[in-house]
A and B are shown apart, each in its own frame.
Chain A
Amino acid sequence: MLVCGGEVDEVKVKFDTSSLGLSKWYEYAIRFVFGGMITALTGIIAQRYGPEIGGLFMAFPAIFPAAATLIEKHEKEKRERAGLDGTMRGRLAAGIDAAGAAMGSIGLMVFALIVWQKLPSSSLGLVLAGATLAWLTASVMVWELRETLCRRIRARLGAASGHRFHTAAQRGPSTHRRLDE
Chain B
Amino acid sequence: MPDKETLERAREDAREGKSPSTQAGEFVREEMDHIREGKHGAASTKQAIAIGLSKARRAGVKLPPPGKRKVSAKTSAQAERDSRKGHSHSRRKPSAKRSRATTAALKKEGHRAASRSSLSKQARSAARQRGSAARRSSALKAVRTKGARGRSQAARKAAPTRSRARTNSKFMLTESRRASDGHMKEILLRFVVGGAVVSVFALLGDLLKPKSFAGLFGAAPSVALATLALTASKQGKEYASLEARSMLIGAVALFFYALVVSRLLIRRKLPVLPVTGMCMALWFACAFGCWYAVVR
Contacts and interface: CB of A to CB of B under 8 A. Distances in A.
Interface of A: 11, 13-17, 19-20, 23, 28, 31-40, 42-44, 46-47, 51-65, 67-69, 71-72, 88, 90-109, 111-113, 115-117, 119-120, 124, 128, 131-132, 135, 139-140, 143, 173, 176-177, 179-180
- Grouping DSSP codes into helix (H, G, I), strand (E, B) and loop, the A interface class, with mixed when no group exceeds half, is helix
B223 interface: yes
Given A39-B190, A143-B212, A176-B210, A104 B269 contact: no
Given A67-B202, A179-B211, A36 B194 contact: yes
Contacts of A43: 186-187, 190, 227, 230-231
Given A16-B208, A105-B258, A100 B215 contact: yes
A176 B246 contact: no
A98 B258 CA distance: 5
Q: Which 9 A-B pairs have the closest CB atoms?
A: A100-B215, A39-B194, A35-B198, A55-B246, A95-B265, A104-B219, A59-B250, A36-B195, A55-B243
Candidate in B240, B259, B263 with the most chain A CB atoms within 10 angstroms? B240
A39 B193 contact: yes
B228 interface: yes
Nearest to A180: B210
Nearest to B250: A59
Interface string B197-224: 1110011011111111111111111111
B215 A104 contact: yes
A72 B266 CA distance: 12
B183 interface: yes
B39 to A, nearest CB: 33
Contact of A59 (B209, B226, B251): B251
A112 B244 contact: yes
A77 to B, nearest CB: 14
